[in-house]
Amino acid sequence: MTTVSSHERKRLHPHKFTMWVALASIVMMFAGLTSAYIVKKANAKWLEFELPDVFWYSTIVILLSSLTVHLSVRSFKAREMARYRVLIGITAALGVMFVVLQWIGFQQIEAGGVPLFGFDSNPSASFIGIIGGLHGLHVLGGVVALVYIFLRAYIGAKKVYSSTGLEIAATYWHFVDGLWVYLFIFFKWL
Amino acid sequence: MSNEAVLHSHDVHSHDDHHGHHHHESFISKYVFSQDHKMIAKQFLITGMVWAILGGLMSVLFRFQLGYPDAEFTWMKDLLGKWVNDKGQITAESYYSLVTIHGTVLVFFVLTAGLSGTFANLLIPLQVGARDMASPFLNMLSYWFFLAASLVMLSSLFVETGPFSGGWTAYPPLSALASAQPGSGTGMDLWLIAMALFVVSSLLGGLNYIATILNMRTKGMSMTRMPLTIWALFFTAILGVLSFPVLLSGFILLIFDRNYGTSFYLSDIFITANNVGALPNEGGNAILYQHLFWFLGHPEVYIIILPAMGMVSEVLSVNSRKPIFGYMAMVGSLFAITILAFLVWAHHMFVTGLNPFLGAFFVLLTLLIAVPSAIKVFNWLTTIWRGSIRFTPAMLFAIGFVSLFISGGLTGIWLGNSALDIHLHDTYFVVAHFHIVMGVAGIFGMFCGIYHWYPKMYGRYLNNTLGYIHFWVTLAGAYLIFWPMHYSGLAGMPRRYYDYAQWESFKQFGDLNKFITIVAMIVFAVQLLFLFNFFYSIWKGRKVRSQNPWGATTLEWTTPINPGHGNWPGEIPEVHRWAYDYGKDGQEFIPQTTPVGSNETNHH
């Protein structure tokens, strides 16, 4: 077994790799939705409206959270557990804050007389509601994963010293961050 | 992380155990919540078989209606209740439900989950030399999501308004408006939930298959030494992981149109039923759904056929006692099919008002698929050419697959032409084409795999005599059922109609329809024979006495006859050569684990 495992150690961890494939899969879902958006935009009765400014704030918040999750991985690896605890807490809080800001953004769109759903809605607004909502769900999934990994490091009979799980969650976190930047540019300027 | 660590990362106690003596497994952990890929494979297979029988039975029922539209089978009323009217005929509503659920179930539950779910789980770890999947836990979840999808779909058969009845493609507006017809109500809600669960199952499975193949191969198992089964399952998983999410996005928009009043797919609709009247939806585009659906829907047919191709390649080579002809060409053509699969979806939409100029590109790309397909066919034929063929049931089903793939593939060239498609679209010609090239060929690939790897799954053989009867009746039956449909299709007979008796042009096919129905019943009965063979042999079949009953080179035959969780009792074997050293240097076969001798001729 020694020869085999030393041979395998050089490769990417299977779970990390699985996450990369999963990300490709999520990319395809949003690619499907955004291309549907482009197709639909070319059809008649497309409503143009401005995105509220609060989406700028949410973008800044999620970019910040990417920074904090990156730093938290570094502190975990350096075994600076106090710093790690603070940083991961901030990241999770920023994640929740992002979703709240998105929610406020959707409310502001509706308040501006553009309903997202319902019979008087226009697909241009519904798309933002659905794509933004799905993205928000993915961010919340990331928050759950971070909290789980955080708790796992402290609660339970055995402590986890491997940073693999955290690194996988961080990869995911950077991904949903990048995904939002793409979606924001897409909605704002396309 | 090593295989060992992945397998036991959830189980602290067994870290120090030697693999020979296993920790105790209860009934629940061994058979129900199993994380052993071999048991999960059996779970997928048996659930898939249950669906195959139900889906097959549905086809027999709607064939009754097509073959005997005027007959009065009052006994059916006792069996099926409100699905049958007082005269003893299946109602139009339930006819459409049967066609819809037959399609959904056979395409997704049998030929996707039942086929690649079974054999990806069984063969990937065994043939690449891994103790289990990259994540045995996700793998278990994949099965449980599939079972949940199955139960929800099954429950839709029993709701009062009946299961969904708008065709397996679930085009809006029939799928988007609960008031459009009875089957679009609760039945459609359940259909959507089941399919969403199914997509999750298939994604979890696919992630695992890809990660396992790329990361967990044993020492020496380079990519080009992998058996073609693994290559095929690898490309299948890639197709699934990249196309199912797009279907899910289509479904999400559909759910919002159905339940939250959005107008993605709906525009200017007036419903006369129940005095619903005009709907407020405006600006929607029903064709958008078709684009999203077929972006999955076309790769889906390759998700079905690629695993069959991989297993057929392996079985043909083993039972011809010859190396596969053109290994790299086989891998290359699988790759080409995978790429092209994503670029041809609009050939399902030639008559939707697609721009003919755009259509021309889709025609070209569609016809290009003939090139890798022909490469594969010629390589299969040259593999068995002058081989020492052993006509085992698995081998017969493999040869039958090649035959069906040729017959069904040729009509694909007709249908891929946008000009011919104007005439052939939505006729029985299409039904004949896809049933032969995808449906029956896929099922033949599945039977080929079951007969060949049954000894590995259960440590016993299937009965050969029953196997031969099963093969010949199914092959003859498949051609007798679907061949005549080419003629009625060319004559313009549309598919999905309940009763053709009113049409002067299609009345002439009444006797033909009757004939097809009779053959369909016989073929269905023979599948029950197979079912008996399968379950009887699990307990009473002839026992496997040798580790490598087919004289094959691949790694799964180096495990014990009944391998435990972890597959190899000692170390995982090391691989020294490709999987197809048959008849080399005067030796009948050389297993992959045999080191290369100094006097060997050219070596892969």
Contacts of A158 in chain B (CB under 8 A): 12
Q: Please give the average per-residue pLDDT across A106-133, as a whole number.
A: 92
Indicate whether A1 pLDDT > 50: no
CB contacts under 8 A, B 114-153 vs A, are: 134-135, 138
Those of residues 347-376 in B touching chain A at CB distance below 8 A are: none
Instruction: Grade residue A45 by pLDDT with cuts at 50, 70 and 90.
Output: confident
- State the pLDDT at residue B17: 40
Rounded Cα gap, residues A87 and A84, in angstroms: 5
Q: Name the pLDDT band for A156 (thresholds 50, 70, 90).
A: low
pLDDT at A128 over 60: yes
Cα of B289 to nearest chain A Cα, Å: 9
Positive or negative, the CA dihedral B88, B89, B94, B97 is positive
Residues 6+ positions from B557 with CB-CB distance below 8 Å: B456, B547, B548, B549, B550, B591
Do the chains contact at A5 and B2, CB–CB below 8 Å?
Answer: yes
Convert the pLDDT of each residue in B275-293 to its tens digit: 888 888 888 889 999 999 9
B341 touches chain A (CB under 8 A): no
B546: Cα separation from own chain's centroid = 31
Asked whether residue B21 carries a pLDDT value surpassing 60, the answer given is no
Q: Do residue B283 and residue A123 have CB atoms under 8 angstroms apart?
A: yes
| pLDDT higher than threshold 80 for residue B165 | yes
Q: Is B14's pLDDT higher than 60?
A: no
Q: Do B246 and A31 touch (CB under 8 A)?
A: yes
pLDDT confidence tier of residue B22, bands split at 50, 70 and 90: low
For B1, which residue in chain A has the nearest alpha carbon?
A9
Structure token digits, residue B124: 């990937």
B363 has a pLDDT exceeding 50:
yes
CB contact under 8 A, A36 and B253: yes
> What pLDDT does residue B282 have?
82
- B115 or B74, which is more confident: B115
Residues of A near B (Cβ–Cβ under 8 Å) read 1, 3-5, 7-9, 11-15, 17-18, 21-22, 24-26, 28-33, 36, 39-40, 43-46, 117-123, 126, 130, 134, 158, 164
- Work out the average pLDDT over B477-503: 93
Nearest chain A residue (CA) to B3:
A5
Contacts of A12 in chain B (CB under 8 A): 215
In chain B, whose CA is at the least distance from the CA of A3? B219
CB contact under 8 A, A130 and B285: no
pLDDT of residue B502: 83
Would you call B525 an interface residue with chain A, using a CB distance cutoff of 8 Å? no
Q: By C-alpha distance, which of B423, B549, B404, B420 is closest to B482?
A: B404
Give B266's DSSP letter.
Answer: -
As to burial, measured by CB atoms within 10 angstroms (0-12 exposed, 13-18 middle, 19+ buried), residue B213 is buried
Q: How far apart (Å, rounded) are the C-alpha atoms in residues B463 and A165? A: 48
Mean pLDDT in chain B? 92
A45 vs B contacts (CB less than 8 Å): 282-283
- A17-21, A53-57, B49-53, B314-318: the lowest-pLDDT one: A17-21
> Residue A17: its pLDDT value, please?
86
- pLDDT surpassing 50 at residue B560: yes
Residue of B nearest to A39 (CA): B288
Q: Is the pLDDT of residue B324 over 60?
A: yes
Q: Are B459 and B562 in contact (CB under 8 A)?
A: yes
Minimal Cα distance from B294: which residue of A?
A: A32
Three-state SS string across B194-240, please?
HHHHHHHHHHHHHHHHHHHHHHCCCCCCCHHHCCHHHHHHHHHHHHH
Chain B: residue nearest A38 by CA?
B288
User: Residue B562 — very low, low, confident or very high, per pLDDT cuts 50/70/90?
Assistant: very high
Structure tokens belonging to residue A150:
């955080």
- Residue A7 is encoded by which pair of tokens? 């041979």
B256 touches chain A (CB under 8 A): yes
The residue ranking higher by pLDDT, A44 or B500, is B500
The answer to whether the beta carbons of residues A21 and A170 sit under 8 Å apart is no
Per-residue pLDDT at B8 exceeds 60: no
Residue B6 near chain A (CB below 8 Å): yes
B342–chain A Cβ distance below 8 A for any pair: no
Question: For residue range B425-464, what is the model confidence (pLDDT) as tens digits?
Answer: 999 999 999 999 999 999 999 999 999 999 999 999 999 9
Residue to substitute from B263, B287, B352, interface A, most A β-carbons within 10 A = B263
Q: How far is CA B563 from the centre of its chain?
A: 26
Minimal CA separation from A72 to chain B, in Å: 23
Lowest mean pLDDT among A136-140, A186-190, B187-191, B560-564: A186-190
Residue B503 confidence (pLDDT) above 90: no
Average pLDDT of span B330-343: 96
- Whether residue A25 and residue B1 make contact (CB cut-off 8 A), yes or no, is no
- Which tens digit of pLDDT belongs to each residue from B50-103? 999 999 999 999 999 999 988 888 888 888 888 888 888 899 999 999 999 999
Q: ipTM score of the complex?
A: 0.90
Domains, chain A, in order of start with CATH, read 2-189 (1.20.120.80)
Q: Does the pLDDT at position B2 exceed 50?
A: no
pLDDT of residue B603: 65
Q: Are B591 and B557 in contact (CB under 8 A)?
A: yes
Which residue is closest to A10 within chain B, CA to CA?
Answer: B1
| Cα–Cα dist B416/B376, whole Å | 19
Model pLDDT, residue B23: 57
Q: Is the pLDDT assigned to residue A102 strictly greater than 50?
A: yes
Distance separating alpha carbons of residues A132 and A109, to the nearest angstrom: 12
CB pairs A-B closer than 8 Å: 141
* Residue B479's pLDDT band (cuts 50, 70, 90): very high
Q: List domains and CATH numbers for chain B.
A: 3-8+34-589 (1.20.210.10)
Q: For the residues A162-190, what does the mean pLDDT come to?
A: 92
* Neighboring chain B residues of A110 at a CB cutoff of 8 Å: none
Helix (H, G, I), strand (E, B) or coil at B488: helix
To probe the interface with A, which of B37, B200, B207, B571 has the most A CB atoms within 10 Å? B207
Among B4, B138, B243, beta carbon nearest to A5: B4
What integer pLDDT is reported at residue B108 of this predicted model? 97
Cβ contacts of A179 within 8 Å, gap of 6 or more: A26, A27, A30, A135, A138
Q: Which of residues 228-247 of B touch A (CB under 8 A)?
A: 241-246
**Cβ-defined contact of A29 to B245 (cutoff 8 Å):** yes
Shortest CB distance from B260 goes to which of A29, A117, A122? A117
Q: Give B513-546 pLDDT, tens digit per residue.
A: 999 999 999 999 999 999 999 999 999 999 999 9
Sign, CA torsion A114/A117/A118/A121: positive
**pLDDT exceeds cutoff 60 at B342:** yes
Mutation for testing the A interface, residue in B128, B215, B235, B352 having most A CBs under 10 Å: B215
pLDDT in tens, B219-236: 999 999 999 999 999 999
- Name the percent of chain B lying above pLDDT 90: 80
What pLDDT score does A3 carry? 41
User: How many residues make up chain B in this entry?
Assistant: 604
Which residue does chain A place closest to B568, by CA atoms?
Answer: A1
Say if residue A6's pLDDT is above 50.
no
B2 with A4: Cβ contact below 8 A: yes
Of B72, B61, B50, B68, which is closest to residue B96 (Cα–Cα)?
B61
